[in-house]
Amino acid sequence: MDLQPSGNKKRELLKLETKKIYITISGKDNLNFSEEQIGFTHVILNDEIINKDTGSGYFYENQNYEFYLEIIDDASNHKIEINHQNPNIRNSITAKGKSKRVFTGNINFGNEIGYSDIIILMDGREYINITLEVFPSKMDYKKDYKEIMTDINEEIYNLAFDFLKKTYLNRQIDHRMVNSLTEYYSILNYVYRKMMDSIKVIIQYPHHTLEKQSNIKPYHKIKKVNNEMIKWLGKRPFNLIETNGEYLPIKAMEVKKINTFDTNENRFLKYMLKSIIIKLKEIKKRYKELMRKEDEMFLSKVDSMINELNGVLNNSFLKNVSEFKYMTPSSLVFRMASGYKEVYGYYLMLKKGLSLKGDIFRISMKDLSLLYEYWCFIKINSLFKKKYKLIKSDIIKVNREGVFVTLKKGHTAEVKYQNLNDGEIFTVSYNSKENSKTVGQKPDNVLSITKKTNGEEIVYKYIFDAKYKIDQAIEGTSYKNQYKTPGPTEVDINTMHRYRDAIVFENKENKYINKNVFGAYVLFPYNNEEEYKNHRFYKTIEEVNIGGIPFLPSSTNLMEEFLKELIEETSLSAYERTIEQIGGDLYPREEDFTRRNVLIGTLKNVEQLKINVDNNFYHTNLKNVNLVKNAVEYIAISQSKKLFGEEVSGISYVGKVSEIKIVKRSEIVEIPKKNDELYVRFEVEKWEKRDKKIRIEDFNVRKIMYTSKFLLDNVERVAELRIRDLGEYRELVELKRKMVTY
């Protein structure tokens, strides 16, 4: 779809003059013109046309057109009214001037596309009926619109067939006619190739039975004597002659058992195929009666089906099968036999029809924005069905009145899949009500992927919101200056930011509230994917995980690639799509308190500090430490008030451990002592002296104490090194803040 600049001046798109009135409709056109597109304008009136010019203009949705009607002198005494089924259009045209002989107003067809009638009434009777064809401005009318309708119908029928397949196989034949030949052909077109594959299985392994065949023959030609022949002769002794005191038959009845395909099941199979041929011939006949330009491809396909089915009847065992006497088949062959059960199921579908009901089948072409919204959901699922296993869908449901399509604006629908490569489950939801602590949010489509992270299942959500809107980047506009090419509107991009911020997840166990929407994207109608790759709102998907993706039947590549990337990436890659809050790397986490990797050591005398610092080590009795429970990575030395006095006391020296050794006390030669007790010697890379010491106030380290590196770097007093979790640390920080404030 090539969107042309629409900055051209208004011109007359239609001009009509009769003896009584003069009408013009002016506006901009060529928003979405293609050589294959031909606009339709038709006028029906009960008067002589003086001048008529429908021009070469086109009418588009969501565009303003200036309507002008002037009453000529001959009609000055007549009452003129203007009617249209849309009250907004009807009410926008009003009489002007003192004489009320001029009717003007701006008309806008909104999202309504297709044929639109403007009716001029004179004295309460229809005088002129102007039929205009309104084109969509955001998609190719002849291509994308028709493909959208095809996609919706095909996918809905696919889901219905999957849903009903097993059910139909367990039902008896209902001999009513289906709703229409169109429905019959739609079903047959879908199941035909599968049905022919099943027929091939039948031809290769047809059902058969043993049948007795009897013939009267001369006795010398009979090879085997059996009881049935003896019984036959017993009733017919005249066929026996006496020879030398023995009775020998002149002729007798020979009974043989032979295989036959002329079974009731095969007769019914033949009947089914013949009935399908009759229906196809009827469809062909009715189509030709429509008096429209014939679709050679359609007729050729119907003829091909008829010829192929006739070929089966005339060139297989069915040729010699007798006609079926109309009765319901009850044989297990149609329940269990390969080929037979499938053909029987397809036949039942054809006989019963699908009679699908639901809001989606009431949508006309005039509800294009809603139609696009439905299509986006259906097409996303169609792309997933190609690669992943469908587990569950609630789009199709059954009640007493028939089969229903639940897809409806304002109602939630959900389809669940499984990625067989890693077993991960994901769902696509339509109109689901997402959790928010403020205003409720109901985005169009939500993709929820359950991925395992360190053994825990985390749900990652991505929003795909269908917006039947596009900024055409018209010359001279700020959008053109900033983004260069057509794309999603800025308002819709801002909506994606709102979704990501507003939708949250509340952990029921710890009551924490977290964001679980990792990305939000606008789906909009545009088909130049290569051009759009250079748009800023496409690049921002990589940068901030918010942007727009063009999505039409003729442009699904970018969407398909992106969906595959989301499903198949690891949980780490998925998490990296998030943007952390500023200061997030500095904000403490629970592990900052639970990971006690710092050993706070004491000194026996002042001289020990200098020896430890000069030789880059620290030592303590093995009884004082638990190396299994605590993985010591840092050493901090506590200088007590008793040894060092008020001014020098506290924690000033910190070093990173390079090696841990268990040695005898006598082996620590820097501080000699004859003792064979086991000690732990911590080798330190380098001792660092803190700019600001940790003060000893109400609490002093007796022997050994463990703390975390986060606390060592962020607290002011030794007692605070004992904080156990984030909650205690927050209370401490808030308390200090209040003390400073007061």
Residues 324 and 381 in one domain: no
Can you tell me the distance from the alpha carbon of 57 to that of 543, in angstroms, rounded to the nearest whole number? 43
Whether residue 360 contacts residue 413, with contact meaning beta carbons closer than 8 Å, is answered with no
267-297 CB burial, b ≥16 within 10 A, e <16 = bbbbbbbbebbebbeebbeebeeeeeeeeee
Residue 437 resides in a domain:
yes
Whether residue 156 contacts residue 405, with contact meaning beta carbons closer than 8 Å, is answered with yes
Last residue of a domain, one of 226, 241, 260: 260
Can you tell me the distance from the alpha carbon of 463 to that of 416, in angstroms, rounded to the nearest whole number? 16
Can you tell me the distance from the alpha carbon of 337 to that of 4, in angstroms, rounded to the nearest whole number? 60
Reported as a pLDDT band with limits 50, 70 and 90, residue 656 is very high
Residues 56 and 184 in one domain: no
Domain with 563 in it: 359-575
Which of helix, strand or coil describes residue 159? helix
Q: Given this model, what pLDDT does residue 170 score?
A: 38
Last residue of a domain, one of 352, 380, 404: 352
In this predicted model, which residue has the larger pLDDT, 197 or 3?
197
Whether residue 164 contacts residue 356, with contact meaning beta carbons closer than 8 Å, is answered with no
In this predicted model, which residue has the larger pLDDT, 289 or 6?
289
100-118 CB burial, b ≥16 within 10 A, e <16 = ebebbbebebbbbbbebeb
Residues 416 and 490 in one domain: yes
Residue 6 resides in a domain:
no
For the stretch 565-617, pLDDT in tens is 999 887 777 776 776 655 566 678 888 888 899 999 999 999 999 999 999 99
Can you tell me the distance from the alpha carbon of 543 to that of 22, in angstroms, rounded to the nearest whole number? 58
Residues 369 and 343 in one domain: no
Residues 332 and 364 in one domain: no
Residue 479 resides in a domain:
yes
For the stretch 516-558, pLDDT in tens is 788 999 999 898 999 999 999 999 999 889 999 999 988 899 9
Whole-model pTM over 0.85: no
Q: Given this model, what pLDDT does residue 401 score?
A: 47
Reported as a pLDDT band with limits 50, 70 and 90, residue 191 is confident
Residues 438 and 568 in one domain: yes
In this predicted model, which residue has the larger pLDDT, 28 or 390?
390
Residue 581 resides in a domain:
no
For the stretch 8-57, pLDDT in tens is 567 888 888 888 888 899 887 655 444 444 444 556 665 565 556 655 56
Residue 217 resides in a domain:
yes
Residues 289 and 371 in one domain: no
Residue 177 has pLDDT above 60, yes or no: no
The number of folded domains in the chain is: 5
**CA 483, 484, 490, 494 torsion: positive or negative?**
negative
Residues 203 and 215 in one domain: no
Last residue of a domain, one of 549, 575, 601: 575
Residues 194 and 330 in one domain: yes
Residue 408 resides in a domain:
yes
Residue 618 resides in a domain:
yes
Reported as a pLDDT band with limits 50, 70 and 90, residue 174 is very low
Residue 365 φ/ψ, nearest 5 degrees: -65, -15
Residues 476 and 530 in one domain: yes
CATH of the domain at 85: 2.60.40
Mean pLDDT of the chain: 79
CATH of the domain at 668: 2.30.130
Can you tell me the distance from the alpha carbon of 268 to that of 321, in angstroms, rounded to the nearest whole number? 10
What's the average model confidence in pLDDT over 147-176? 55
Residues 459 and 566 in one domain: yes
Task: Give the highest mean pLDDT range of 133-137, 141-145, 234-238, 412-416.
Answer: 412-416
Residues 415 and 515 in one domain: yes
Residue 539 resides in a domain:
yes
